[in-house]
Structure 1
Amino acid sequence: MHPQLPRHRPARRFRRATAALLRRFARDEDGALLIFGLYVFLIILMVGGIGVDLMRFERDRSELQYTLDRAVLAAADLDQPLPPKDVVRDYFSKSNLGEYLNEPSVVQGVNFRNVSATAQAVIPTQFMHLTGVDTLTAPAAGAAEERVPKVEISLVLDISGSMRDHGRMDALRPAAKNFVSMVLKGDAKKNTSINLIPYAGQTNPGPWMFDRLNGVRFGTTGGDIFPEWSEGIDSVTLWFDRDGDGDIDYSAKIEGYPAGEVDGLNKDDLDDYFEYAVDHLRRTDSELQSDTDVVGATIQGGTRATEFFSADGSAGSGPTDIDEVDAVIQFDAFYASVIRNDLASCPEISSGDFTRAGLPSEASYAQVAHFMNWKIASAVMDWGWCPQNQSSIVYASNNETQINDMIQSMRMHDGTGTHYAMKWALALLNPSANATFEAMEEDGLIPEEFANRPAAWTDTETVKYIILMTDGQITEQVRPKETLHPKNPTNELNEGRKDDRTQITSASTNVNRFYTQCNLAKNPSRNIIIYTIAFDAPSDAKTQMKTCASSASHFFVAGTKDIAEVFSNIARQINELKLVN
């Protein structure tokens, strides 16, 4: 009997062999790094590709944003003559990006323009599509606005005699004129008013303002003591009390009046020259002293009855018989001694006015004498510590020609009274002057559109600036002891007349008054922006200008070579155009 063979033996061997093979394969590590490397390579390739796509995206997005920013800035410029939307489209077209631009938006008014735009570029990916991202969208958005606020500027220019040195005035004129042209350029003119304030030893507000402040011209009564003689004056007799006992004891007649008018005064209104006449007689008549009391005057002329008037304006009777008098002079002799009081119009501002931010507000003001302290350079200077009327303040003007003609023609004068100029610069930005501006508009001195200026301090649509330039430090204030001294219009006080001179305020007092006005202007409730320029100035003047400026960055030191750039820089800051997004 044969032995029985195991059943399915080949199958069992196969299974055992297969299991062994699998066990060996599982234990065998040959080739594992290659597979891992393939995975890493694929990952690196994917990340690098994403980086390339992102770099392309950022490049295109940056170009799109850069083009958009330039486009809206150019379109928002109020001086841009082309339609704003066309400007934006043109920028994108020239950059070959026109297909990506959406419709621009423009909002504009009388004094502003806002231009906004968006753009969107769809960028196909080269590698990221492997991850399912087929495109990237590059957005760009921006807006620009130029808003011309209502601007009020006080432009204060030193015209003292030292400005003639080293070509300073020759450099100043074109620099200041260019500043005016820049701030009045284009639509800005509609909303910008400039007070041009030249100054020397004093500041001349002009005849109109002098009268509004109740200024009293020297040589006059400053009132209405004597009537205007409608039929024309033939003679005036002045009555004096030499010994002070209250009784008239001396008389002097002025006769020989001309039939026609005379320059500088109204010969038929004694108020216009009463003090002149009294002063002339006191100086020329040996019977009179400089302090002899004048009691009154008798006026005779035409068919009107000869009449006496008290010098103090009080009612009362007096002598009318003028046939026998103690002295007789001719009108021409008297008139030749008259110092013209209509050449300049500076009021003697009080100490109290320098503690306030508004216009001078005392009941009345004496007129500054017509004199020079330092030797005149007559080729380039006019006579006067107070600038003459042709170099007085120009109020609230946007007339570029008017302002620049004044800058070109203004003449230099004597002294450096920067505190007076700063007083006027601040006062003419103070809303308390509004009634005065309305009156100036009614009299044709300023444009109708500026009748409601200065704007309120709280008006957020209005920006106020003071630009102050000087070449010297603030000095003491001197005056002739006698306002009507006959040498005042011809001989400088410092040239052999020092005994005729008196100091009314020291330099330190004037500097303190200047700083007070600067601080009033910089008060947060007013928030006036003050730019100052020390033009070839000594150290004291630099200190004064730096202290007054709104900040150190608002203070400039300039010479003849860069004064134009300084003024242009300030104008650019005033006109600044900014991106709003």
Structure 2
Amino acid sequence: MSTGKSESHDPRARATPLRAVVAFWRDEAGVLTGFSLYIFILMMMIAGLTIDVMRYEAVRTRLQATSDRAVLAAADLDQTTDAVAVVEDYFAKAGMADYLEGVQVSKGLNYKEVEARVSAEIPTWFMNMSGIDTLNAFARSKAEERIQNIEVSLVVDISGSMGSNSKIQNLRTAADKFVRTMMAANDNITADGTGLTSVSIIPYHAVVSLPDYLIAKYNVSTQQEVSNCVRFAPSDFQSISLSTTDPLDRLAHFDRNNSNLYTQNGDRKIKRPWCQVGDYGAILPLSTSLTDLTAKVASLGASGNTATDLGMKWAAALLDPGTQSVVTDLITEGHLDGALAGRPVAYEDTETIKVVVLMTDGENTSQYDLKDSFKGTMSPVWWHEPSDEFFVYFQNRANQNKQPWWDVGRTPESDTNGNDAKYGDGDWDPAIERPDARQLSHAELFGTFSVRYISEYFFRVENDSQSSTRSTYRNAVTRYTGDGTADDYTEALCDKLKAKDVVIFTIGFEAPARGQTLMKYCASSSGHYFDVKGVEISQAFSSIANTIQQLRLSL
């Protein structure tokens, strides 16, 4: 029976599909929101931007690298090809010729400067979606090679210890290669002399000897003029410069240790003078001659104590502009190359590099000289030339019998132990007994006999042993600089040189701890110090020479 209501007209039945659609529309599960879509698009844009930037950077880096290599090659002063052509060739071979915008070249007597500009337009792959169609890569490179003047003081240890383990031979080999490398740079000297390298060789052991022509330029005392070594006052080590007018004390000419009588060409003379005679071991100042430099190196020997402070004092003086007047005189006299006019230049001269190369195989030891009372004075020894007899006579002694010195005439070839000697009778006077005898100066006495021989032959107490007499008499020879003091002097000079931007390289050649410490202190940096053994010294000198050449060519 019909109820009068149709199911199709049921409001709930008609609303069910609509509600399902609405429910579906409102269900957010698994749906990509607007924010998420924005983030996704942004990530894609960043990825695209990164790719474009990476492409840009790769091209720019390649441009810069090619440009850098091209200008470095073109700026080389040894490069004979036109600088512009060199740069263009580099870019052509790199397949980047279209990117080269221009090359600018500037040249002078001692320099060449090359500048290159490049640019490239790089199409974008992704950034064009945001309106950026290309990226512009730019590069600019500039290189300069400038020949610097070089002043070098090469300070080499020739003390006795260098005679062992083939050290002096290894030094000669290393130093020879060094000076050859340095002098090769003089092939590029410009018309006005720019780019000139000069090298002073300063050999040192217990002393530093000067050639006659160099010592003549200083106000050195003349108690003796046989050998040419200078004794400096403590204040002299507080300054790099060395005055040509202030008085300097010349070291006495004496042989401290040799025990035997020595003759040469019939003349008696000391065999091993503390300061050598002649050019052996003497300074070779400001040389531009490869022949002279290699000859000096080949002549180096080994003897004596170690006085690094003296070597550094002369090394500093030969770099100091205060020595210009000395150089001028030596040029005029023909001892130095005329191209050295104006050297040593001012420390502020930006066209010149000043360098010290200092090596040692040891450490500072004691330094000796005669006391002042034995310089420039007359000795108590008289010589009778016809009989070749020597007499000791103290004119200021009232009673000769109280003197414990020999005063009887005898010849050096007689009993050198003094067995036939006796005390004087108090009345002996050479002016009466030997009117033609001549009183010897101390300079003559110490230049003829060694200190040891004088003590044993002339002044030995009758019953004393030789060693006792030798020890007593050696008070006439005094140590005036100890090893620690010499270290202090050396350090003071190194400090002052470094303050003037002088570059100091040092080499400890099988040196003991204290010597190495001093070398490390003096070096301009830890990289300027070399600790070497045996033939490694050649490697050290080669490395130093190459470094100096790199400093010389400022890129």
Shared fold (TM-score, shorter chain, > 0.5)? yes
Question: Equivalences for 1:223-234 in 2 at 5 Å?
Answer: none
- Per the alignment, residue 363 of structure 1 pairs with 247
Residues 1:385 and 2:268 are matched in the alignment: no
Q: Give the gaps of 5 or more residues in structure 2.
A: 1-17, 261-270, 375-441, 457-465
Shift in alpha-carbon separation, 1:47–1:551, aligned structure 2, 3 A: closer
Secondary structure of the 1:467 match is strand
Deviation digits for residues 82-126 of structure 1 (CA, Å, limit 9, x no counterpart): 433333333323322233223322223233332221222222223
**1:375–1:492 Cα contact (<8 Å) kept:** no
- Per the alignment, residue 12 of structure 1 pairs with none
Question: Equivalences for 1:25-424 in 2 at 5 Å?
Answer: 33=32, 42-184=41-183, 185=185, 186-187=187-188, 190-215=195-220, 341=226, 344-359=227-242, 361-363=245-247, 365-369=249-253, 371=255, 373=257, 383-387=272-276, 388-424=278-314
Shift in alpha-carbon separation, 1:441–1:81, aligned structure 2, 3 A: same
- Per the alignment, residue 507 of structure 2 pairs with 533
- Per the alignment, residue 261 of structure 1 pairs with none
**1:373–1:493 Cα contact (<8 Å) kept:** no
In structure 2, C-alpha distance between the alignment counterparts of 1:50 and 1:579, rounded to whole Å:
43
Deviation digits for residues 202-256 of structure 1 (CA, Å, limit 9, x no counterpart): 1122111122224456666xxxxxxxxxxxxxxxxxxxxxxxxxxxxxxxxxxxx
- Per the alignment, residue 559 of structure 1 pairs with 533
Aligned-pair distance for 1:420?
1.2
Aligned-pair distance for 1:470?
1.0
**1:120–1:137 Cα contact (<8 Å) kept:** yes
Deviation digits for residues 127-180 of structure 1 (CA, Å, limit 9, x no counterpart): 333333232222111212233333322111111221122222222223223333
Secondary structure of the 1:212 match is coil
Question: Equivalences for 1:446-525 in 2 at 5 Å?
Answer: 446-479=336-369, 483-484=443-444, 485=446, 486-488=448-450, 499=471, 501=474, 502-507=477-482, 508-522=484-498, 524=499
- Per the alignment, residue 15 of structure 1 pairs with none
Aligned-pair distance for 1:439?
0.6
> What RMSD over aligned residues (CA atoms) do the two structures have, in Å?
3.9
- Per the alignment, residue 462 of structure 2 pairs with none
The percent of aligned pairs where both chains have the same amino acid is: 34
**2:259–2:450 Cα contact (<8 Å) kept:** no
Secondary structure of the 1:89 match is helix
**1:111–1:191 Cα contact (<8 Å) kept:** no
Secondary structure of the 2:335 match is coil
In structure 2, C-alpha distance between the alignment counterparts of 1:492 and 1:88, rounded to whole Å:
78
Deviation digits for residues 451-483 of structure 1 (CA, Å, limit 9, x no counterpart): 211222333433322221111111111246765
In structure 1, C-alpha distance between the alignment counterparts of 2:541 and 2:343, rounded to whole Å:
25
In structure 2, C-alpha distance between the alignment counterparts of 1:491 and 1:73, rounded to whole Å:
68
How many residue pairs end up in the alignment? 435
One-letter amino acid of the structure 1 residue matched with residue 293 of structure 2: I
**1:53–1:127 Cα contact (<8 Å) kept:** yes
> Which residue of 323, 326, 330 corresponds with 1:433?
323
One-letter amino acid of the structure 2 residue matched with residue 435 of structure 1: S
One-letter amino acid of the structure 1 residue matched with residue 229 of structure 2: C
Secondary structure of the 1:537 match is coil
Shift in alpha-carbon separation, 1:558–1:197, aligned structure 2, 3 A: same
Shift in alpha-carbon separation, 1:105–1:372, aligned structure 2, 3 A: farther
Aligned-pair distance for 1:25?
9.5
Aligned-pair distance for 1:424?
0.7
- Per the alignment, residue 298 of structure 1 pairs with none
Aligned-pair distance for 1:542?
1.5
- Per the alignment, residue 543 of structure 1 pairs with 517
TM-score by length of 2: 0.68
Secondary structure of the 1:92 match is helix
Mean Cα deviation higher: 190-199 or 429-438: 190-199
In structure 2, C-alpha distance between the alignment counterparts of 1:43 and 1:406, rounded to whole Å:
78
One-letter amino acid of the structure 2 residue matched with residue 369 of structure 1: H
One-letter amino acid of the structure 1 residue matched with residue 508 of structure 2: A
**1:72–1:88 Cα contact (<8 Å) kept:** yes
In structure 2, C-alpha distance between the alignment counterparts of 1:483 and 1:55, rounded to whole Å:
85
One-letter amino acid of the structure 2 residue matched with residue 464 of structure 1: K
One-letter amino acid of the structure 2 residue matched with residue 359 of structure 1: L
**2:146–2:553 Cα contact (<8 Å) kept:** no
**1:416–1:472 Cα contact (<8 Å) kept:** yes
Shift in alpha-carbon separation, 1:187–1:475, aligned structure 2, 3 A: same
One-letter amino acid of the structure 2 residue matched with residue 478 of structure 1: Y
**1:144–1:578 Cα contact (<8 Å) kept:** no
One-letter amino acid of the structure 1 residue matched with residue 241 of structure 2: G
Aligned-pair distance for 1:350?
4.0
In structure 2, C-alpha distance between the alignment counterparts of 1:47 and 1:542, rounded to whole Å:
60
Shift in alpha-carbon separation, 1:421–1:577, aligned structure 2, 3 A: closer
In structure 2, C-alpha distance between the alignment counterparts of 1:175 and 1:148, rounded to whole Å:
25
Shift in alpha-carbon separation, 1:76–1:58, aligned structure 2, 3 A: same
Aligned-pair distance for 1:40?
5.8
Shift in alpha-carbon separation, 1:176–1:29, aligned structure 2, 3 A: same
- Per the alignment, residue 442 of structure 1 pairs with 332
In structure 2, C-alpha distance between the alignment counterparts of 1:206 and 1:577, rounded to whole Å:
31
One-letter amino acid of the structure 2 residue matched with residue 385 of structure 1: W
**1:384–1:414 Cα contact (<8 Å) kept:** no
Shift in alpha-carbon separation, 1:112–1:214, aligned structure 2, 3 A: same
Secondary structure of the 1:166 match is coil
One-letter amino acid of the structure 1 residue matched with residue 506 of structure 2: T
Mean Cα deviation higher: 422-431 or 119-128: 119-128
